[in-house]
Structure 1
Amino acid sequence: MTKVVAITGASNGMGFAAAELFAKKGWIVYGGARRVEKIPTAEHIHALKLDVTDHASNQAFIETIFQQEKQIDVLINNAGYGEYGPVEDISLDNARQQFETNFFGAADLAQLVLPIMRAQKSGRIINISSIGGDVYMPLGAYYHATKAALQQWSDSLDIEIAPFGVRSLVVQPGGTQSAWSDIAMKNANKNLKADSVYLTMVQKVSTLLMANEGAISASSEDLAQVFYKAATDARPKRRYFHAFSDRAMVWLARSCPRVFKKLFMTALNYLGNRALKKRK
């Protein structure tokens, strides 16, 4: 029987690549995004308008898929972004929007799809978090909070729904070749108040992220393969990582927080101070 996957945030990056991969593997793919025209067009891919912060949009997304296919085998909660900015400066309206997109959108879609999956006695909800659910950096407080919340929520959900043959799993990407860092830092600058005392911090973090981009080898296509593995493993895991280095970073941040913080601050200050000197 041909399987059906629903993917949010399918207009770019990992969601775009995942839609293409699942379609190539013979799945029926429903990709959702606000910019529906950017969702890939190929055989087996159906593009639907979706705003995960809007309950009516989420409801229409799930109902349309079920009406057409009479099944939903996998939901991939991939939609998300980084609302970066200093905690003191960033507005709580923007912080709430970060949670609406990165966390509550996934929760809403899960509530909508679970009755279908329970009736099928099978299904997987795959929640795309980040190593940022455990690893952290300045300016990303609300982003990291949403990813940590998504992970704890997913673990609790998994226990609740496993008796019905349904699973809730987490993928934790690390650095990936995408526009994510650019968008996050644009938000950080946008969220700075006039004459903010955090301007130097923003410049340092921007320099660190730019330096890291040159070392990133993981592509969106690589992460799409991880999504597919999470969707098809005979014995699904609680967490999925692309690289050992991503898993090691999570372990270090959780098991040796003082060491992690010292290493991070050393890198931040070294690269940041060097960049600031060049600008003078």
Structure 2
Amino acid sequence: MAKVVFITGASSGIGKAIGCYLHNKGYVVYGTSRSPEKYKDAIPFTLVPLDVTQPDTITAAVAQILANSATIDVLVNNAGVGITGPIEETPTDEIRNAFETNFYGPLNVIKAVLPQMRKQRSGHIINITSIAGYMGLPYRGIYSATKAALEITTEAYRMETKQFGIQMTNVAPGDFATNIAAGRYHAPVLEDSPYKNAYGATLETMNAHVDAGNDPDEMAKAIERIIETKHPRIHYKVGAFIQKFSIVLKRVLPGKTYEKMLMKHYDL
């Protein structure tokens, strides 16, 4: 019987790539979007309305999927938002929104599917984090923090739910060629800001990295391999070699040396 896969944030980018790939492979795919009607002609799988910052929509989406398919075998927690800016100049409301979307949102979706997965005595929850979550990146510090929080929480959650036959995994992508930059919150480059030149240059570098990123289908193929792995690892990294290797370097280099390397990379 085909596995039922529930993917949040599936109307574009990595989520859409994963959904289309798994749909074509014969999985039963339910994706989510805040406005699914806008994408009904462009998405080959079922889209249900969901906003991860609104718990009522999470409950309704899970109920709709269970009414249609009676099970949820895999949850891919993909919905997220980008945020850039000097931390000092980033509005507190935008910081809160990033955590609501990238951290509290995924946790609430997990809470919504766990009762069914416990009932089944099976299930696999895959949280899409980021290689940025392994390091504090200049002018992306809040984004890094949201993804790091989800990475660490998943480690604990995985141990708590293993007794119910449920697997939990982090998948940290590097830069992929998606439209994430268009939907990202950018703190404005203020003319009188002491960060103006450094932040402006770093913003251009970040956008260039996304534009030159890998094909999102690489992530989709990795997700399928993980779904079909009997004993999945806790952490996976998917992306360019140098981005994955940067995590290794952080483990082995002295802190100040690693900091200098990052600052050189961003011309700071």
- Same fold judged by TM-score > 0.5? yes
State the distance in 1 between where 2:51 and 2:212 align. 33
Residues 176, 211 of structure 2: 8 Å contact kept:
no
State the distance in 1 between where 2:81 and 2:169 align. 20
- Shift in Å, 1:213: 4.5
Change (3 A) 1:64 1:13: same
* 1:160-171 mapped onto 2 (5 Å cutoff): 160-171=160-171
1:234 matched to 2:230? The reply is yes
Could you tell me the TM-score, scaled by structure 1's length? 0.88
* 1:103-252 mapped onto 2 (5 Å cutoff): 103-184=103-184, 187-189=186-188, 192=189, 195-213=192-210, 215-216=212-213, 218-243=214-239, 244-252=241-249
Output one character per residue of 1:193-217: Cα deviation in whole Å (capped at 9) or x when no partner.
562221112212023224435653x
State the distance in 2 between where 1:78 and 1:188 align. 23
State the distance in 1 between where 2:59 and 2:207 align. 39
- Shift in Å, 1:35: 3.1
Unmatched tracts of structure 2, length 5 or more: none
State the distance in 2 between where 1:255 and 1:50 align. 41
Change (3 A) 1:7 1:110: same
Residues 124, 168 of structure 1: 8 Å contact kept:
yes
Change (3 A) 1:136 1:38: farther
Q: Which amino acid aligns with 2:257?
A: V
Matched residue SS, 1:11: coil
- Shift in Å, 1:182: 4.6
Residues 173, 246 of structure 1: 8 Å contact kept:
no
Partner of 1:262: 260
Q: Which amino acid aligns with 2:224?
A: Y
State the distance in 2 between where 1:104 and 1:9 align. 15
Q: Which amino acid aligns with 1:237?
A: R
- Shift in Å, 1:136: 2.9
More displaced, 238-247 or 61-70?
238-247
Overall identity of the aligned pairs, in % = 33
Partner of 2:91: 91
Give the alignment's Cα RMSD to 1 decimal.
1.8
Matched residue SS, 2:10: coil
Aligned residues: 264
Q: Which amino acid aligns with 2:90?
A: I
Q: Which amino acid aligns with 1:265?
A: M
Matched residue SS, 1:197: coil
Could you tell me the TM-score, scaled by structure 2's length? 0.92
Residues 102, 146 of structure 1: 8 Å contact kept:
yes
- Shift in Å, 1:258: 2.6
Residues 14, 223 of structure 1: 8 Å contact kept:
yes
Partner of 1:275: none
State the distance in 1 between where 2:6 and 2:108 align. 14
Change (3 A) 1:213 1:105: closer
Residues 134, 254 of structure 1: 8 Å contact kept:
no
State the distance in 1 between where 2:97 and 2:210 align. 26
- Shift in Å, 1:166: 0.2
